[in-house]
Amino acid sequence: MSSQQKKDQMPDWSDYRGILVFVEQRDGVAKNVSWQLLGIGKKLADKLDTALMALVIGDNVEHLANEAIYHGADKVYLCEGPELKDYRTQPYSRITLKLIEDAKPEICLFGATGTGRDLAGAIATHVPTGLTADTTQLDVEPSPSRLLMASRPAFGEKLMATILCKNHRPQMATARAGVFEALPRDPERKGEIIRIENPIKNEDIATKVLDFIEKKNEVNLEEAEVIVAGGRGLGAPEGFKLLKELADELGGEVGASRPCVDAGWITHEHQVGQTGHTVRPKLYFAIGISGAVQHTVGMADSDVIVAINKDPDAPIFQFAHYGIVGDLFKIVPNITAQVKKRKAEKSDPTVIKA
Amino acid sequence: MLHIVVCIKQVPDSREIRIDPVTNTLIRQGVPSIVNFYDLHGLEEALRIKDNIGARVTVVTMGPPPAIKALKECIALGADEAILVTDRKFAGADTLATSYVLAKTIEKVEEKWGKVDLVFCGKQTLDGDTGQVGPGIACRLDLEQLTYVGKVAKVDSEARKITVHRYLEDGTEVVETSMPALITALKELNEVRRASLPGMIRAARYEPITWTIADFENVDMSKIGLKGSPTVVGKTWVPEVRKIEGEIIKGDTPEQIAEQLTQKLAENNLAEKLGWV
């Protein structure tokens, strides 16, 4: 055997099988990213002909173990205890590490959230193994390599890179919220729930969560079916009023590109794109948005995109199903009026549709 | 007096990086190097603790020799000591190998200047965007791990406790823990000061301490550099612009355009789906 062949030979990982997803929750409510991870995890597991596992840690979270099954898990590990009510690095990482040792998954997925990144970073160092942060594409090579191809944007989304972890197991990745699709919830789905003992005593943990101040989420871009987003072309914060009127008429939310947020025209929770939200609504309006890649990475997967811009060469038109070249201040109010009119016709039975 | 270590990294300003349209590779030439700005917020917080209750602030970085410039910047802001850890053998490190070397460095700092109470890192770097080195160091040195910190509410050096606010997607978590602890800094943590004139003068004369691999004992060579890095970059590509055969909607008046658009959307079944046919 040549030295090159020797080098390419993979270690035997045949005792590492299955994909493990960490289910993130607060107060018994799961984060959507957890179900999205089960969605992509299921695809990968099917490709590798292996099991999809989930780990639920918390206090009174048995219902989430069932939810994990409804969302695609074959096997759910459940660890409950009052000490585990709030996420804390030390107890959560100890439980997860023990499970990784026992269950030997070949791939572990976490949400690229504050909690997911905190936990995954600690675990990967302990194992030790490779961890790819903030992935937006996940795929696997079939047997025998069974390699996770974890791809993520780099250098401000200008480049994509696939990261591989050839010589360590499990292969770990955190994945961005809103990028992968959850499976439809199926309450008929069956799976196995395995309780694991809670080894944690409160006095062993130095960290205490004194308080949690919930962010009042007035905007929920990830779940919105319609987003009316504005950019620098609005010229001033007042421009968002026009967008809000259209969004209200369509039952949607107002989004924004980064320059508007940086300029203080609108709050960060409205921001779509890199360093903001990744969204895939049924209908997305990009109004006065030029279409820089930092924005489009967050919205290009929307079902239908309408772009309105006065510059016919704006890159946003390359993403748009329908483009309108013109003055947004004249066009947007007219669209709002048209939607109003259609709604009125719908609710008025005397109007016969043509 | 508290002993605080701040980990920093000199990074290319990713906002200035362009892609060569012909070769599809990064153009790094002429891209300015800056101190990763999250790290500067960590340094600022360390300096505020120093101003308020007294502390010794040591800045460390792993990188090539030009990173001395970044260290001098930290001295100008008020850090007491700055250490460059540099060796070709450290090159090519991913986050796991990087956290190993930085943990070894902090251990060596402790040998020289006494026990470390707090370590500050940035939330993540601008070039790597992973946020994994901080947790890696905390894990290796058995420090309490406090990530995504937007406010340091209380530092009690007597009771050896620290209270911070962690800014998460769904809200703010108020957490108390014991020192030694590691904090990763958000930009909301503080506003970074400007260097004072005496600071700049000190920085101009200051020579950062340089440690190479020969200065460390008990370094496991299998844990550093490329060899110690479990992850490798497979391929890289420039994300393709998804070109859609879109339709430009034209009309004589804004009313006409708007009417045509809503008609198109209705034909697209969207109106029905969204309930406004």
| DSSP string computed for B178-192 | ESSEEEEE-GGG--P
- Round to the nearest angstrom and report the end-to-end CA distance of chain A: 77
Residue B272 lies in a domain: yes
Residue A155 lies in a domain: yes
User: What is the CATH classification number for the domain harbouring A155?
Assistant: 3.40.50.620
**Under an 8 A CB cutoff, do A317 and B258 touch?**
no
Which residues of chain A have a CB within 8 Å of the CB of B147? Answer: 114, 117-118, 121
Average pLDDT, chain A: 92
Say whether both B197 and B87 belong to one domain: yes
Mean pLDDT within B162-177: 96
Mean pLDDT within B21-45: 87
Residue B233 lies in a domain: no
Per-residue pLDDT of A255-266, as tens digits, reads 999 999 989 999
Asked whether residue A8 carries a pLDDT value surpassing 70, the answer given is: no
Say whether both A270 and A144 belong to one domain: no
Provide the 3-class DSSP secondary structure of residue B206. coil
Cα distance between residue B273 and residue A37, in whole Å: 27
B-proximal residues of A, 51-80, CB under 8 Å:
none
**Under an 8 A CB cutoff, do A335 and B266 touch?**
no
**Residue B11 near residue B126 (C-beta atoms within 8 A):** yes
**Residue A37 near residue A2 (C-beta atoms within 8 A):** no
Mean pLDDT within A295-324: 93
Per-residue pLDDT of A177-215, as tens digits, reads 988 999 999 999 999 999 999 988 888 899 999 999 998
B274 close to A (CB below 8 A):
yes
Say whether both B79 and B197 belong to one domain: yes
A-proximal residues of B, 156-215, CB under 8 Å:
163, 166-178
Asked whether residue A226 carries a pLDDT value surpassing 50, the answer given is: yes
Cα distance between residue A73 and residue A38, in whole Å: 7
Asked whether residue A354 carries a pLDDT value surpassing 60, the answer given is: no
> Which helix H or strand E contains B172, and what residues bound it?
strand B171-178
**Residue B105 near residue B208 (C-beta atoms within 8 A):** no
Say whether both B269 and B189 belong to one domain: no
Mean pLDDT within A104-113: 97
Tokens encoding B55: 């502390």
Cα distance from B116 to chain A (closest Cα, Å)?
Answer: 17
Cα distance between residue B222 and residue A75, in whole Å: 36
Residue A2 lies in a domain: no
Cα distance between residue B74 and residue B51, in whole Å: 15
Nearest residue, CB atoms, B242 vs list A132, A300, A338: A300
A-proximal residues of B, 212-231, CB under 8 Å:
229-231
Asked whether residue A353 carries a pLDDT value surpassing 60, the answer given is: no
Average pLDDT, chain B: 93
Domains of chain B: total: 2
Q: Which of A95-99, A290-294, B32-36, B68-72 has the lowest mean pLDDT?
A: A290-294
Domains of chain A: total: 2
Residue B241 pLDDT: 64
Residue B36 pLDDT: 96
User: What is the CATH classification number for the domain harbouring B116?
Assistant: 3.40.50.620
Nearest in space to B128 (alpha carbons), one of B238, B40, B9 = B9
**Residue B41 near residue B186 (C-beta atoms within 8 A):** yes
Output A349 or B37, whichever has higher pLDDT. Answer: B37
Say whether both A24 and A159 belong to one domain: yes
Say whether both A145 and A237 belong to one domain: no
Per-residue pLDDT of A66-102, as tens digits, reads 999 999 999 999 999 999 999 999 999 999 999 999 9
Say whether both B130 and B198 belong to one domain: yes
Structural domain harbouring B253: 244-276
Say whether both B58 and B112 belong to one domain: yes
Cα distance between residue A52 and residue A49, in whole Å: 10
Binding residues of A: 232, 257-258, 271-275, 288-295, 309
Asked whether residue A9 carries a pLDDT value surpassing 70, the answer given is: no
**Under an 8 A CB cutoff, do A26 and B170 touch?**
yes
Residue A244 — φ and ψ, nearest 5°?
-65, -40
B-proximal residues of A, 287-326, CB under 8 Å:
293, 296-297, 300, 303-307, 315, 317-326
Residue A351 pLDDT: 54
Which residues of chain A have a CB within 8 Å of the CB of B231? Answer: 130-132, 163-165
Nearest residue, CB atoms, A343 vs list B145, B146, B276: B276
Say whether both A47 and A150 belong to one domain: yes
Per-residue pLDDT of B102-119, as tens digits, reads 999 999 999 999 999 999
Which residues of chain A have a CB within 8 Å of the CB of B276? Answer: 249-250, 339, 342-343, 346
| Count helices and strands in chain B by DSSP H and E runs | 7, 15
Nearest residue, CB atoms, A155 vs list B17, B130, B171: B17
Say whether both B268 and B209 belong to one domain: no
Q: Which of A33-37, A123-127, A291-295, B73-77 has the lowest mean pLDDT?
A: A291-295
Tokens encoding A154: 């780099």
A352 pLDDT band, cuts 50/70/90, is low
Asked whether residue B180 carries a pLDDT value surpassing 90, the answer given is: yes
Residue in the block written with tokens 């309108």: A324
Strands (E), chain A: 19-23, 25-26, 29-30, 52-58, 75-80, 107-111, 131-135, 137-140, 148-154, 159-165, 171-175, 192-195, 208-214, 226-230, 253-256, 283-287, 304-309, 322-325
Which residues of chain A have a CB within 8 Å of the CB of B261? Answer: 306, 322, 324, 335, 338
Tokens encoding A117: 């990144």
Asked whether residue A2 carries a pLDDT value surpassing 70, the answer given is: no
SS3 for A22-72 is EECEECCEECHHHHHHHHHHHHHHHHHCCCEEEEEEECCCHHHHHHHHHCC
Structural domain harbouring A288: 226-347
Mean pLDDT within B21-44: 87
**Under an 8 A CB cutoff, do B265 and A304 touch?**
yes
Say whether both A296 and A342 belong to one domain: yes
Per-residue pLDDT of B184-206, as tens digits, reads 999 999 999 999 999 999 999 99
Asked whether residue B6 carries a pLDDT value surpassing 80, the answer given is: yes
Residue A234 pLDDT: 96
Q: For a pLDDT cut of 90, what percent of chain A falls above it? A: 79
Say whether both A130 and A47 belong to one domain: yes
Say whether both A188 and A87 belong to one domain: yes
B184: amino acid identity, one letter: T
Residue A171 lies in a domain: yes
**Under an 8 A CB cutoff, do B99 and A321 touch?**
no
Residue B229 — φ and ψ, nearest 5°?
-105, 110
Residue A257 pLDDT: 95
Say whether both B28 and B91 belong to one domain: yes
Gyration radius from chain B CA atoms? 24
Which residues of chain A have a CB within 8 Å of the CB of B178? Answer: 206
Nearest in space to A299 (alpha carbons), one of A182, A247, A221 = A221
Output B235 or B271, whichever has higher pLDDT. Answer: B235
Mean pLDDT within A131-151: 96
Report the predicted TM-score, pTM, of the whole model to 2 decimal places.
Answer: 0.86
Say whether both A140 and A244 belong to one domain: no
Residue A350 pLDDT: 61
Residue B46 lies in a domain: yes
Which residues of chain B have a CB within 8 Å of the CB of A134? Answer: 129-130
Tokens encoding A315: 């890159």
A-proximal residues of B, 53-92, CB under 8 Å:
none
> Which helix H or strand E contains B237, and what residues bound it?
strand B231-237
Which residues of chain A have a CB within 8 Å of the CB of B99? Answer: 125
Say whether both B99 and B197 belong to one domain: yes
Nearest residue, CB atoms, A164 vs list B17, B18, B231: B231
How many residues does this entry show for chain B?
277
Residue in the block written with tokens 């004589």: B252
CA distances from B21 to A72, B26, B235, B239, B240 (A): 42, 9, 17, 12, 12
B-proximal residues of A, 123-162, CB under 8 Å:
124-126, 128-134, 149, 152-162
**Residue A40 near residue A138 (C-beta atoms within 8 A):** yes
What is the ipTM metric for this complex?
0.90
**Residue A176 near residue A278 (C-beta atoms within 8 A):** yes
Which residues of chain A have a CB within 8 Å of the CB of B103? Answer: none
Asked whether residue A159 carries a pLDDT value surpassing 90, the answer given is: no
**Residue A270 near residue A219 (C-beta atoms within 8 A):** yes
Q: B124-158 burial, b if ≥16 CB within 10 A, otherwise e?
A: bbbbbbbbbbbbbbbbbbebbbbbbbbbbeebebe
